[in-house]
Amino acid sequence: MNHAVAKPAVQRIPFLVGGEWRTGSAPALPAINPASGELLGEVGAAGPDDVDAAVRAAQAAQPAWAALRGHQRAALLQAIAAQIEQHAEALALTQTRENGKPLAESRQQAKSAAGIFRYYAAEIETFAAEVTPPRGDYVSMTSYEPLGVVAAITPWNSPLTMDAQKAAPALAAGNAVILKPSELTPQTSLALGRLCLEAGLPPGLLNVLPGSGADTGAALVQHPGVRMISFTGGTATGRAIARVAAERMIPACFELGGKSPQIVFADADVERALEGVLWGIFEAMGQSCVAGSRLFVQQALYPRFVEALVAKTRALRLGPPEDPHTQVGPLASEQRVQHVDTIVQAARRDGAQLLCGGARPAGAQFGRGAYYLPTILAGMRNDAAVCQTEIFGPVLCVLPFADEEDLVAQANHSEFGLACGIWSADFARAWRVARRIEAGTVWINTYKQLSITTPFGGYKQSGLGREKGRQGLLPYLQAKSIYLAT
Ligand code: NDP
């Protein structure tokens, strides 16, 4: 007789292809809550046959969608927005349980996701073809048409907004979308897929394929039916995908990494600058593409500013993301903790001085959660590895600067160019420096102020192309010019 106790079956969460739910042919993904280390279940993953089925479903659904007028597509996007708003709390909880983001932030992002669908509904409803000036006896017009099937690949740090930022403009433009979320956050994207279906989006227009980047992601971008790639993630992955896009001669846009400078001049409003610098790096535990991870403080203010910043950082309330008193939560996974700690310890060996953090927090309440203390390092040069590598974690490098020339040279000495913060009471100087910094977004006396109305993207290795705003619609369209003889 066999006395072995059967393990309770883990429910495998299915994914969305052509309006139907399937569990997939690839090995399932574990779903782990980073706040507790608890295994919550598993999510089905897409193998090559599932990728092929999704592309076929998208190809079948797209022509009828593209044939609708802009205002008709807009009505559906508005319905999706309403559905997201109605289920915002559940969406926020799903994201927080997958990536550990404090619930208040996830709630904010669920609201933003709805706003993004509303914004692109308005854009497509008012988007017009152009009549171009004739140079002969003809009428010439340029209209914009969808590309067909779009592969949208997103990272784990903010899937609620990243998914919406790709799906909303791509759908508005008349494409079908295949969304490949990160292995860490597939359920958030699956929830969006379900809400779109419930809102009445025809099956096949939004498919969600969980799976690893190396397998599912790679198979998707190489599929001949995919006509455009929209990618957000690390620069190395972006480069690998760009090679595929180049080989296949299909358009692609890239939102990549950063190592953004925060610049504090001696005449800055110190209290506001302290808050801006603190949250610029430690909100979301530095797991944000625009995290202000290099701090430059003018020499005269440096000792006082850094001392106050360290005190504020030590006082941050670290805890479970669902606790309303928590200010900063866990990292997205245990692997992320190990990654961050490896970089911090290497920097210390290279001579960096640890001003605070640099370890896991002590205390039973942190259990097996993926926690790490907000960390500040000083005493290294801007060309040190820790100041040049994107850590994507709660680590701030602080550096002094002498004057404007010295500052601009140091701030621009980075392969990245995503964002920058400038804190100064001298408006003319802030403006001058803003124009000289190589970055896609510059904030003056504020930080992480983002809006769907305003284009976003990177200089240098931080990306190619822009998302958001009217410019964010254009990568999902191709121009067609027609001449009519008169
Ligand atoms: P990755 O580059 O590791 O992954 C991003 C996505 O790409 C994931 O879904 C991943 O799948 C997938 N992927 C990996 N390899 C391939 C491949 N060969 N073909 C197709 N898809 C692939 O980034 P992270 O998820 O670790 O996210 C962090 C990075 O994202 C940081 O560098 C950050 O700066 C950047 N980012 C940029 C933003 C911006 O707007 N500029 C915004 C947010 C983040 P899987 O993970 O499942 O293996």
Q: What CATH number does the domain containing 355 carry? A: 3.40.309.10
What percent of the chain lies above the pLDDT cut of 70?
Answer: 98
Q: Looking at the structure, tell me whether residues 210 and 272 fall in a common domain.
A: no
Query: Rounded distance, CA 282 to CA 304, Å?
Result: 20
Is 467 annotated in the active site? yes
pLDDT at residue 7 is higher than 80: no
Query: Rounded distance, CA 330 to CA 157, Å?
Result: 12
**Which tokens belong to 134?**
């004739």
Mutate to test the pocket of ligand 1, among 232, 395, 420 (most ligand atoms within 8 A of CB): 232
pLDDT band at residue 9, thresholds of 50, 70 and 90? low
Q: Looking at the structure, tell me whether residues 301 and 165 fall in a common domain.
A: no
With a 6 A CB cut-off, is 102 part of the ligand 1 pocket?
Answer: no
Is 7 annotated in the active site? no
Mutate to test the pocket of ligand 1, among 32, 153, 235 (most ligand atoms within 8 A of CB): 153
Atom of ligand 1 nearest to the CA of 155: 25
Strands 12-13 and 38-45, bridge-based pairing? parallel
Domain enclosing residue 394, as ranges: 261-451
Q: Looking at the structure, tell me whether residues 247 and 325 fall in a common domain.
A: no
Residue 206: inside a domain, yes or no? yes
Q: Give how many domains the chain has, as a whole number.
A: 2
Q: 105, 183, 255, 322: which is the annotated catalytic residue?
A: 255
Query: Rounded distance, CA 404 to CA 224, Å?
Result: 51
pLDDT at residue 172 is higher than 90: yes
C-alpha to C-alpha distances, 202 to 16, 80, 127, nearest whole angstrom: 13, 12, 22
Asked if 420 and 261 count as a contact pair (C-beta separation under 8 A), the reply is yes
pTM: 0.96
Asked if 453 and 434 count as a contact pair (C-beta separation under 8 A), the reply is no
Q: Looking at the structure, tell me whether residues 241 and 362 fall in a common domain.
A: no
Q: Looking at the structure, tell me whether residues 162 and 193 fall in a common domain.
A: yes
Count Cβ neighbours within 10 Å for each residue of 199-229 and write b for 16 or more, e otherwise.
bebbbbbbbbbbbbbebbbbbbbebebbbbb
Neighbours of 477 (CB within 10 A): 22
Q: Looking at the structure, tell me whether residues 274 and 411 fall in a common domain.
A: yes
CATH of residue 193's domain is 3.40.605.10
Query: Rounded distance, CA 472 to CA 474, Å?
Result: 6
What pairs with residue 15 in β-bridges?
22
Q: Quote the pLDDT of residue 6.
A: 53
With a 6 A CB cut-off, is 163 part of the ligand 1 pocket?
Answer: no
10 or 272: which carries more pLDDT confidence? 272
For 139-159, what is each residue's pLDDT tens digit?
999 999 999 999 999 999 999
Please report which residue ranges of 371-467 form alpha helices under DSSP H: 385-388, 404-412, 427-436
With a 6 A CB cut-off, is 218 part of the ligand 1 pocket?
Answer: yes
CA 272, 263, 315: angle at the middle one, nearest 5? 45
Closest by CA position to 28, among listed 218, 210, 155 = 210
Distance 90 CA to ligand 1 centre (A): 24
Residue 62: inside a domain, yes or no? yes
Q: Quote the pLDDT of residue 10.
A: 72
Is 166 annotated in the active site? yes
Q: 166, 180, 259, 468: which is the annotated catalytic residue?
A: 166
With a 6 A CB cut-off, is 241 part of the ligand 1 pocket?
Answer: yes
Atom of ligand 1 nearest to the CA of 210: 47
With a 6 A CB cut-off, is 155 part of the ligand 1 pocket?
Answer: yes
Closest by CA position to 115, among listed 142, 139, 88 = 88
With a 6 A CB cut-off, is 392 part of the ligand 1 pocket?
Answer: yes
For 356-397, what is each residue's pLDDT tens digit?
999 999 999 999 999 999 999 999 999 999 999 999 999 999
For 244-279, what is each residue's pLDDT tens digit?
999 999 999 999 999 999 999 999 999 999 999 999
pLDDT band at residue 8, thresholds of 50, 70 and 90? low
Which residue, judged by its Cα, is nearest atom 4 of ligand 1? 233
Q: Looking at the structure, tell me whether residues 300 and 342 fall in a common domain.
A: yes
pLDDT band at residue 480, thresholds of 50, 70 and 90? very high
Q: At what angle do helices 302-314 and 270-282 cross, to 10 degrees?
A: 50
**Which tokens belong to 469?**
């705003």
pLDDT at residue 240 is higher than 70: yes
Atom of ligand 1 nearest to the CA of 467: 40
**Average pLDDT over all residues of the chain:** 97
DSSP line for 217-238: IHHHHH-TT--EEEEES-HHHH
Q: Looking at the structure, tell me whether residues 241 and 299 fall in a common domain.
A: no
pLDDT at residue 290 is higher than 50: yes
Query: Rounded distance, CA 187 to CA 204, Å?
Result: 18
Q: How many helices (H) and strands (E) does the chain have?
A: 14, 23
